[in-house]
Amino acid sequence: MPKPKVAFYWCASCGGCEETVVDLAEDILGVVEAVDIVFWPCAMDFKKADVEAMPDQSIVATLLNGAIRTTEQEEMARLLRRKSQVLIAYGACAHLGGIPGLANQFPREQILRYVYEESPTTINESRQRPQLKFAENGREVALPELHNVVRSLDQVVDVDYYVPGCPPTPKLTKAAVTALLENRLPPKGSVIAPDVALCDECPRKATKPADIAFTQFKRPHQVLMDPEKCFLAQGVVCLGPGTRSGCEAACTVGGMPCTGCFGPTSRVRDQGLKMLSSLCANVAPKEEADINQVLAGIPDPVGTFYRYGLAKSLLRRKVNLPAE
């Protein structure tokens, strides 16, 4: 019997998700034994044309990481969707838009101008920008175009499953691949991670106060943090209560508060708003001016509450930006 075919692909992401696949370490040998990797540009020499030549639905599963931000990424997402029986959004960017989704606060022109002209490390006196088409010696080459809007994978094509995290852990990756190979998949649309908040598996949970009244929000670099006490009890913003568990509390064990990369649980539609609701309701003062003084300790609400989830939030993008 031929081995099931599997593909990996990356779009707008940093490469950390590919790293996690490699972090399976010896376990990857078991995976390679069980499946045929037919496409993985990061590690193996297959081309787009090879995928195009495959019959539709011939790939059992594609694990795609990264947000969809360029025409090329969109084209590949559509192609791989067509060729795959199961499409898995792998990692925070494919799942929620991720860090690239924060670009949805700015117009495309401003981003291009900053990157190619204004950033302190850019020297570009002739103000050259990448051109979509360029002809030389009668041959034309083309570059993909940047979309105005950064999207999660499911805002572009139909997605079967989500493996969350920035990056997903090797353990979750293995669980997803095993479920796939053994045909024990959960209902379509599931996020393959426990459906409870991070606090559930956080070792600091015992010190989480039942009643919290913030008089000040402190940022991690401004305070010497107790290594065992709940971050919220120390006045440090931790997104654990509004974030899905499954990471084995990697950050809070490592001494940093949760920033929300696993996204919300299934009961929450908009992780950022839910977390805003929970944190701010527990501010101590009752007068407007005093409340605002405490809330000033969160200088960047969008970056704090939507660090990974802006593209997938209810508003998706700053609403007064141009569509073109």
Question: Minimum distance from CB of 39 to other proteins (Å)?
Answer: 16
Name the residue with tokens 């509450």.
305
Contact 161, 190 (CB under 8 A): yes
11/276 with CB nearer other proteins: 276
Q: What is the DSSP letter of 93?
A: H
Nearer to other proteins, 119 or 282 (CB): 282
Q: Whole-angstrom Cα distance, residue 200 to residue 244?
A: 9
Q: Which is nearer to other proteins, 49 or 123 (CB)?
A: 49
CA 87 to chain centre: 16
Q: Quick one: tokens of 160? A: 């079967």
Beta carbon of residue 228, minimum distance to other proteins (angstroms, whole number): 29
Q: Tell me the CA distances in angstroms from 224 to 12, 120, 156, one per residue in order.
A: 35, 32, 44
**Cβ atoms of residues 225 and 231 within 8 Å:** yes
Give the type of residue at 114: Y
C-alpha to C-alpha distances, 59 to 62, 77, 135, 293, nearest whole angstrom: 7, 13, 36, 55
**Residue among 204 and 307 whose Cβ is closer to other proteins:** 307
What minimum distance in Å lies between the beta carbon of 149 and other proteins? 5
The nearest distance, CB 287 to other proteins, in angstroms, is 9
- Closest Cα to residue 166, out of 268, 19, 315? 19
- Give least dist CB 180 to other proteins, A: 23
Chain contacts with other proteins (rule: CB under 8 A): 52, 56, 71, 74-75, 78, 81-82, 105, 147-149, 151, 154-158, 268-270, 272-274, 276-277, 280-283, 286, 288, 291-292, 295, 298, 301-302, 305, 314-321, 323
Choice between 179 and 298, CB closer to other proteins: 298
What's the closest the beta carbon of residue 56 comes to other proteins, in angstroms?
A: 5
**Is residue 237 within 8 Å of 257, Cβ to Cβ?**
yes
Nearer to other proteins, 82 or 174 (CB): 82
